[in-house]
Amino acid sequence: MRPAGLNRDFILIGENIHTTRVLLRNGRRVAPSPDGVESVLFENSAGETGYLPIPEELKRRQDYEEGRVKHVMIAVLGGMRGDPLSLDYLRVMAARQIARGAGYLDLNVDEISHRLPEQIAAIQWLVRTIEEFSSVPLAIDSSNVDIILAGLDACQGRAGRPLLNSASLERSDALDAAARRGIPVMVTAAGASGMPSNAADRVNNASQMIDAALARGLDAASIFVDPLMFPISVDSEFGNHCLDAIRELRARYGPAIHISGGLSNVSFGLPARKLINEVFIRLAVEAGADSGIVDPVANDLHAVFQADRSARPQQLAEEMLLGRDRGCKNFLRAYRKGELSATL
C-alpha cells in the first residue's frame, strides 16, 4: 500500500486475526443480542449488525472474569465447529484489514490451547479458511516452529507465497524451512540465548540472520527484519534502541530488504495506546522501516503520515519515544489532564 502523505510503499502485515486479541466487556462492542445473550457485536458481510455469542465455556475463564473477551478465539473455536456466524466474523476481519491496505494477513492461534496437537489443528483450519476468501497472502505466525510448519503445510499460496513469521538465532531451523520452500521470512533480532539489550545487539543478531538467509539463497526482497521493539513504559531508551537499529540495518543492507516488526508492543503498560502506536509507526518509517505488523483497523495508515506532528499530543508521544521523557512523566501528566484525548 501507499499511505497518504508518504512517497513510498509500506507493506502492512495485519495482526488482527490473533487468538490473543481482546475486547473489553464493558466496551462498545460487547452487548446483549436481541434475544438477551451477551455477544460480540460486529458488522457482518451483509452490512448489518451481527451478534457473536460468548460461549459458556469461555465465561469460566479468568480473562472473561477480569473483563476481557477473547473475540478471535471465540470465532476460531466456533468456526472449527462449523458455525456460520463465526466464519462470517473471520471473513469480515480479513476483509476490513485488506480494505485498510493489508498486504499480508498474519495468523496466530498460539493461545487457543497449550497442547501442540490442538494448536496445529487450529492453525491448519484457520489457514485453509482464511485463504479461501483472502485476496492477499498469509503470514503464518507462532512462537513454535512446529506450528508454523503445520500452517505452511496447509497453505496453498493462492494469493501469493506465505510469509514465515518468524525465525531467529534461537530457532534457525525456521530459516531452513523458508529457504527450502522459497518463501519470504521474518527474521528477528533475538539473540541465541537472550533478548538484545541495545541497538548494537539488535544489529548484530539481525545481521547474522540476514546473512544466513542470503547464504541460503533467499533474495533480499524476501527478507523481513523485526528489530524487536520493547515497551517504552519499562525503559525510556527502548525507542532509541529500536530506531537506531533500523537506521543501521537500512544503511548496511540497502533498499531491497524489508524492515518491519510488531510495532504495537511499544505502548504496552501505558494509556492512549493508539496515539503512541501511530507516532511510533511514523518514527520507524522515518528511520528506514518499510513495513510493520500492525492493526490497520485501529491505526489508519493514511492518517498516520498526515497527522499534524506539531500538535501537542503528537509532540508528547514523540518526545517520550525518543527518550526525552524519563518515566513517561510528561506524557502521563498530559493524559491525566485530558490533553491527549483530542486524538483518541
Partner 1 sequence: MPELHDIANEFIRQEIDEFIERPDERARIIGLFAKASEQMQAIAAALIDGDHETVDRLTAEAIAAGVHAMEVMDDGLIAGMAIVGIKFRQNFIFVPEVLSCARAMKAGMVHIEPILSAAGIEKLGKVIMGTVKGDLHDIGKNLCIMMLRGAGFEVIDLGVDTSQDRFIDAIEEHGANILGMSALLTTTMPNMGKTIEAFIDAGLRDDIRIMVGGAPVTQDFADEMGADGYGKDALACVSLAKQFAGKA
Q: Which residue lies nearer to partner 1 by CB, 7 or 193?
A: 193
Shortest distance, CB of residue 326 to partner 1, whole angstroms?
9
Q: Which residue lies nearer to partner 1 by CB, 41 or 242?
A: 242
Q: Which residue lies nearer to partner 1 by CB, 158 or 329?
A: 329
Q: Which residue lies nearer to partner 1 by CB, 10 or 230?
A: 230
Shortest distance, CB of residue 273 to partner 1, whole angstroms?
11
Shortest distance, CB of residue 143 to partner 1, whole angstroms?
4
Which residues of this protein are in contact with partner 1, per CB under 8 A? 20, 60-63, 66, 110-111, 114-115, 119, 142-144, 147, 170, 190-191, 193-195, 230-231, 233-234, 268-271, 327-329, 332
Shortest distance, CB of residue 145 to partner 1, whole angstroms?
9
Shortest distance, CB of residue 115 to partner 1, whole angstroms?
8
Q: What are phi and psi of 308, to 5 degrees?
A: -75, 100
Neighbouring residues of 131: CB distance < 8 A, sequence distance ≥ 6? 138, 155, 156, 158, 159
Closest to 105 measured CA to CA, from 84, 83, 130, 81 = 130
Shortest distance, CB of residue 206 to partner 1, whole angstroms?
15
Q: How far are the Cα atoms of 180, 296, 337 from residue 263, in angstroms, in the given order? A: 29, 12, 27
Neighbouring residues of 301: CB distance < 8 A, sequence distance ≥ 6? 1, 3, 10, 12, 100, 101, 281, 294
**DSSP codes, 201-226:** HHHHHHHHHHHHHHHTT--GGGEEEE
Give dist(CA 124, CA 126) in Å, integer.
5
Q: Which residue lies nearer to partner 1 by CB, 160 or 271?
A: 271
Q: Which residue lies nearer to partner 1 by CB, 31 or 234?
A: 234
Q: What is the distance, to the nearest Å, from the Cα of residue 152 to the centroid of all Cα atoms in its chain?
A: 19
Dihedral sign for Cα 297, 299, 301, 307, please: positive
Give dist(CA 165, CA 244) in Å, integer.
23
